[in-house]
Chains A and B, each alone.
Chain A
């Protein structure tokens, strides 16, 4: 029987049992043993691995100061001298995914021990960290907890034991862009021709060299002076007229709204509110200008620093909303803005 390995878990305030969005600002702390999803991890890791501690940090605390929070979390983890670290799974939670990715990256780099997290492929933490760490692919919501924890545990155990790691498809992690040499039974020329023939016949084939997709847009030329043009406001912070007339969803939005602000000097709690389900709404509902800065923009318009404010603003909720949907919203919005002569846009996000 091999010796028992020690694991430390990383979780956010929610899964760590501290609280919801109202507790998203909590500083890093450590609790002994396994809690929350840790109990499920224990089920898959027993008796080979003992979970000695769970390190918890609020999602807002982490993401608002990633360097400092990452360092504090790292020091807490390092203090337990673990043999492996498991973070999340974060599913499609963007802030949590960024935190899990950063924690695993620093543990992998600085302690040279295995660290594994789990995310939904569209989580922004995937694009930011997949090249540095193992991210197991999970479902988009907590309904995928059991499968996610099982895959993470399996992969972490293999890594901790120094066993060879298979391809992303075999092991269930998101491709890291690494290539490993191996002896194939067929030569490259023969494999290439086979692939080409399959492609020509419309059959399925697996490329051996996937081209990276860089979806970047070259920055467009700046405006000469914002005092001479029409500017529009967009927010993903969920600020809508009271009652949410377009029924914009509080998470995974499929809709956005266009709202009249002609003649309106500022947003007021009596007329506007947020429907975003991914942050504590207290401050935005107290003063919606904290998310959509209409009051400041009107002041600058009056002073001539902004030529004219477009008489409508657009709003959606950026909370687990797919990049594909957000892209579609923006393309539709851009068509209207271009048609109406808007020459620059300010977008605000929480």
Chain B
């Protein structure tokens, strides 16, 4: 999906748990996530820590959208 969105001219970042699949399918901007059943969270952490973790991942994704890249890049 990330590839098709970029094909339409809109930068897209893929936050995903299995980076090799994202690479194989062709996403350009990839941010590795935490785990498959909770990509943007971690139930083992406290509520506050978990929110910070999520915020940090989204911020990393925003940076990826602001970064000029030549090829597929894992941030």
Contacts and interface: CB of A to CB of B under 8 A. Distances in A.
Contact of B40 (A63, A223, A290): A290
B8 to A, nearest CB: 4
Interface residues of B, number: 54
Nearest to A236: B1
Interface residues of A, number: 68
Interface string A58-73: 0110011010000000
Interface stretch (A9-17, A165-173, A275-283): A275-283
Contacts of A24: 36-37
A221 B65 CA distance: 9
B9 A300 contact: no
B2 A347 contact: yes
A311 interface: no
A345 B17 contact: no
A51 interface: no
Given A334-B5, A345-B12, A222 B62 contact: no
A330 B1 contact: yes
B62 A330 contact: no
B74 interface: no
Contact of A296 (B20, B24, B54, B70): B54
Contacts of A94: 18, 21
Nearest to B15: A348
A293 B11 contact: no
A173 B10 CA distance: 38
Nearest to B23: A128
Between B7, B18, B57, the greatest number of chain A beta carbons within 10 A of the residue's beta carbon is seen for B18
A95 interface: yes
Contacts of A216: 3, 26
Interface in B34-58: 35-41, 43, 50-51, 54-55, 57-58
B65 A344 contact: yes
A66 to B, nearest CB: 6
A220 interface: yes
B33 to A, nearest CB: 7
A256 B43 CA distance: 27
Given A295-B54, A330-B5, A346-B61, A219 B28 contact: yes
Given A290-B39, A290-B40, A297-B58, A346 B51 contact: no
Interface of B: 1-18, 20-22, 24-29, 33, 35-41, 43, 50-51, 54-55, 57-59, 61-62, 65-73
Interface of A: 21, 24, 59-60, 63-64, 66, 94-95, 98, 124, 127-128, 215-217, 219-226, 231, 234, 236-237, 279-284, 286-287, 289-293, 295-297, 299-300, 305-306, 323, 326-327, 329-331, 333-335, 337-338, 342-350
